[in-house]
Amino acid sequence: MTDTQPEHTLIQISDPHLGRVPGPIRPGYPDSDTQLQAVLAHVRERYPDPDLVLVTGDLAEDPETVTYARLAHYLSALPAPVSALAGNHDDHGLARQTFTAAGHAFDAEQRVGNWLIVNLNSAWPGHTPGRLPAEELARLQSALRHHPDCWVLVAVHHPVVPVGSRWLDALGLTNGDELLAVLERHPKVRACVFGHIHQAFDALHGTVRLLGCPSTCVQFLPGSEDFALDPEDAGYRVIRLRDDGTFETRIERVPDTSMVPAL
């Protein structure tokens, strides 16, 4: 018997780090705009009809209106709703204002089939590590209470657990244990996705999959003690949600987007 259960496609892109003007954000780096456009073209070719595109933070290297407006314009070319959140490089208020003015969701709670997607703001002004304030944790708990029949995917910028890289693990979510405690109390939470680490990551905490995403710009070397770049292509995550609470996910890499600073 063929399984004809509906599937819903989410695309996660992360850490585009756009500068004030198109070009490399620092010497030896690739052009952030060119990298992002290559990723978006790959998404349009491979996944022409996604249900939602999640953009999980560090939208800008230079957090200014012109930068966010350019990013919002690029994302508008995708054939799907866009839902974004801020990272540690972002000006949260300015990003939210610019994105919502362009018709994109920000810090949103959205239904996709019988799944609830909740975006949380972990950006901690003045700090590189992240922190979920009490009101964000309360917002999550309220959303879970109000949608008891939905399967749930939570999105946040900072990694919730250590990822095995000393320098990155010092810059993660400082109260990840508080978030995990909330997720543990709600058995319909199936996944928590995040950015910030510029690499793929996949771990299990109880019944919750913890999933990290590559950057559209440059990649960080997994397992590195100190800052190091990985000569891997840019990428994004694809998540196929099913109505029975199961899902499949994979990382897509975009050919010819590898770039490592010259030594």
Q: What is the pLDDT of residues 204-258, one digit of tens each?
A: 999 999 999 999 999 999 999 999 999 999 999 999 999 999 999 999 999 999 8
Q: What pLDDT was estimated at residue 3?
A: 57
Neighbours of 23 (CB within 10 A): 13
Neighbours of 114 (CB within 10 A): 17
Query: Which parts of the chain are beta strand (E)?
Result: 7-13, 52-56, 82-85, 105-106, 109-112, 115-119, 151-156, 189-194, 201-205, 208-212, 219-220, 229-230, 235-242, 247-253
Whether the per-residue pLDDT at 129 is higher than 80: the answer is yes
DSSP 146: H
- Taking the alpha carbons at both ends of the chain, their separation in whole angstroms is 57
- Here the tokens at position 47 are 């996944």
Q: Mean pLDDT throughout 143-167?
A: 97
In 3D, which of 122, 179, 184 has the Cα closest to residue 156? 122
* pTM of the complete model: 0.95
- Here the tokens at position 146 are 């109000």
Answer whether 159's CB lies under 8 Å from 201's CB: yes
